[in-house]
């Protein structure tokens, strides 16, 4: 979802308490509840069905605090490929754009702003590689300790990795002296610095999860390059990822749908995983890969060609098994028979040109492109 839609939704909720109908018109999604155990799988929306109660609660509790300090036109919130964290009573903000490879840290403190900014820079650089230590939807301070998340992905003015407080402090002083910028934010003066990440920052993040990906791949018989491609597409290897669909972590798992399926059908557990569980990279990758196993052995079972199966799995991860079946005329049996009669390139063409959901059409294109890149890196 783009920033314009975020701002429109938040403004509506904060200022006027808008209706569900308005939210639906902004998001253009189907809120129909899912039932993973229904006999007819065609209508199922997939793991990205919205958790509207959680979404509403999140907007109401958090956005007002942000708007109060930063104004309606300067609201930023964490997303799948962005890390946004407020601290110091919402006076400081860190914004990491994982797609573009930039880290922006700013403060709107009116008293001794450079001191506030320095503290915010140091905190951002030393934020630990543990999402459990960071509450993205409050201004609660971060529990420090352990290897910093941005270690090696950001280097100081001398090209050195930042892992210790003294180096982070020295780099913060350098940035404030040489890179400080200002702008007006809701009639307040903002002081900020923008730090470029190293060129291969995405690959560095991916390397952290190699052992976890390998284990999940072997356990569930899902290709490693596919797992990597899904993670890059969903979160750009951002373990703090959270999205509009109430999805969490690297593979953007929705607890009530994919999470519930994995717990019940694979793990033999009742209920669904918590956000804390899904923010653990090992749990997240295991859950996401297990969901692919469910798609392969249950919801899409019967597709004979392995490549056609993989295209269908990728599409279903985003748009549901029902979206795949509807692409080929609807109804599981008839759709699978049609898929089995087609060449793999025809299946790909149909899912990228005729799928009823435009997002799912582009999703398959993106994932397969990334998959080729990761396959070439082996």
* Residue 166, token pair as written in the block: 């003294």
Instruction: Choose among 121, 126, 240, 295: nearest CA to 192.
Output: 121
Return the pLDDT at 268: 95
- Asked whether residue 378 carries a pLDDT value surpassing 90, the answer given is no
- Asked whether residue 137 carries a pLDDT value surpassing 90, the answer given is no
| H or E element that contains 194 | strand 188-196
Domains and CATH numbers, the chain: 1-75 (no CATH), 77-199 (no CATH), 204-376 (1.10.530.10)
Lowest mean pLDDT among 14-23, 174-183, 245-254: 14-23
Q: Whole-angstrom Cα distance, residue 59 to residue 373? A: 37
Determine the average pLDDT of the residues in 217-245.
94
CB 93 within 8 A of CB 105: yes
Confidence class of residue 18 from pLDDT cuts 50, 70 and 90? very low
Judged by DSSP in three states, 243 sits in coil
* Residue 35, token pair as written in the block: 């039932």
Q: Whole-angstrom Cα distance, residue 135 to residue 142? A: 8
- Asked whether residue 220 carries a pLDDT value surpassing 80, the answer given is yes
Instruction: Choose among 109, 84, 82: nearest CA to 94.
Output: 84
Lowest mean pLDDT among 3-7, 122-126, 211-215, 322-326: 3-7
Return the pLDDT at 244: 73
- Asked whether residue 369 carries a pLDDT value surpassing 80, the answer given is yes
- Asked whether residue 225 carries a pLDDT value surpassing 90, the answer given is yes
Instruction: Choose among 325, 311, 313, 317: nearest CA to 356.
Output: 325
Top-confidence residue, 329 or 253: 253
Classify the C-alpha dihedral 97-101-103-104 as positive or negative. negative
- Asked whether residue 354 carries a pLDDT value surpassing 80, the answer given is yes
Confidence class of residue 56 from pLDDT cuts 50, 70 and 90? low
Return the pLDDT at 8: 45
Sheet bearing 181-185, strands edge to edge:
82-87, 92-97, 102-107, 188-196, 181-185
- Asked whether residue 57 carries a pLDDT value surpassing 80, the answer given is no
Tell me the pLDDT tens digit for each residue of 196-214.
999 999 999 999 999 999 9
- Asked whether residue 171 carries a pLDDT value surpassing 60, the answer given is yes
Instruction: Choose among 99, 138, 348, 351: nearest CA to 233.
Output: 99
What is the distance, to the nearest Å, from the Cα of residue 315 to the centroid of all Cα atoms in its chain? 17
Mean pLDDT of the chain: 86
Q: By percentage, how much of the chain surpasses pLDDT 90?
A: 75
Return the pLDDT at 59: 59
Return the pLDDT at 33: 30
Return the pLDDT at 335: 96
Confidence class of residue 58 from pLDDT cuts 50, 70 and 90? low
- Asked whether residue 43 carries a pLDDT value surpassing 90, the answer given is no
With 0-12 CB in 10 A as exposed, 13-18 as middle and 19+ as buried, what is 52?
Answer: middle
Q: Whole-angstrom Cα distance, residue 137 to residue 5? A: 19
- Asked whether residue 179 carries a pLDDT value surpassing 50, the answer given is yes
Question: CB count, 10 Å around CB of 271?
Answer: 11
- Asked whether residue 16 carries a pLDDT value surpassing 60, the answer given is no
Tell me the pLDDT tens digit for each residue of 260-307.
999 999 999 999 999 999 999 999 999 999 999 999 999 999 999 999
Return the pLDDT at 63: 86
Phi-psi region of 159 (alpha: psi -120 to 50; beta: other; left: phi over 0): left
Phi-psi region of 75 (alpha: psi -120 to 50; beta: other; left: phi over 0): beta
Q: Whole-angstrom Cα distance, residue 328 to residue 223? A: 25
């Amino acid at each position: 979802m783009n920033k314009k839609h975020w701002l429109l939704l938040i403004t509506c909720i904060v200022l006027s308490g808008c209706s569900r109908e308005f939210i639906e018109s902004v998001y253009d999604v189907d809120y129909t509840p899912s039932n993973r155990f229904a006999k007819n799988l065609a209508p199922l929306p997939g793991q990205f069905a919205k958790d509207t109660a959680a979404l509403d609660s999140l907007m109401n509790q958090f956005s007002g605090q942000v708007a109060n300090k930063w104004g309606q036109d300067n609201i930023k919130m964490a997303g799948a490929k962005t890390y946004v964290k407020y601290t110091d009573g919402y006076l400081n903000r860190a914004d990491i754009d994982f797609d573009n490879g930039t880290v922006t840290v700013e403060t709107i403190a009116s008293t001794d702003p450079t001191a506030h900014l320095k503290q915010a820079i140091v905190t951002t650089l030393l934020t630990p590689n543990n999402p459990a230590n960071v509450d993205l939807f409050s201004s609660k301070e971060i529990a420090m300790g352990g290897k910093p998340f941005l270690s090696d992905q950001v280097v100081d003015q001398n090209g050195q990795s930042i892992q210790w407080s003294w180096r982070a402090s020295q780099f913060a002083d350098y940035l404030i002296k040489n890179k400080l910028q200002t702008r007006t934010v809701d009639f307040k003066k903002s002081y900020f610095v923008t730090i470029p990440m190293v060129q291969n920052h995405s690959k560095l993040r991916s390397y952290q999860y190699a052992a976890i990906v390998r284990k999940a791949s072997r356990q569930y018989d899902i290709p490693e390059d596919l797992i990597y491609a899904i993670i890059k597409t969903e979160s750009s290897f951002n373990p703090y990822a959270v999205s509009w669909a109430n999805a969490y972590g690297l593979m953007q798992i929705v607890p009530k749908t994919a999470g519930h399926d994995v717990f019940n059908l694979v793990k033999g557990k009742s209920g669904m995983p918590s956000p804390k569980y899904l923010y653990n990279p090992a749990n997240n990758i295991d859950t996401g890969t297990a969901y692919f196993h469910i798609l392969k052995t249950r919801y899409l079972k019967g597709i004979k060609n392995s490549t056609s199966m993989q295209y269908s799995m990728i599409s279903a991860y985003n748009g549901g098994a029902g979206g795949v079946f509807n692409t080929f005329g609807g109804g599981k049996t008839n759709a699978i028979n049609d898929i089995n009669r087609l060449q793999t390139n025809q299946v790909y063409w149909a899912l990228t040109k005729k799928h009823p959901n435009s997002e799912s059409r582009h999703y398959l294109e993106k994932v397969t492109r990334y998959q080729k890149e990761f396959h070439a890196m082996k």
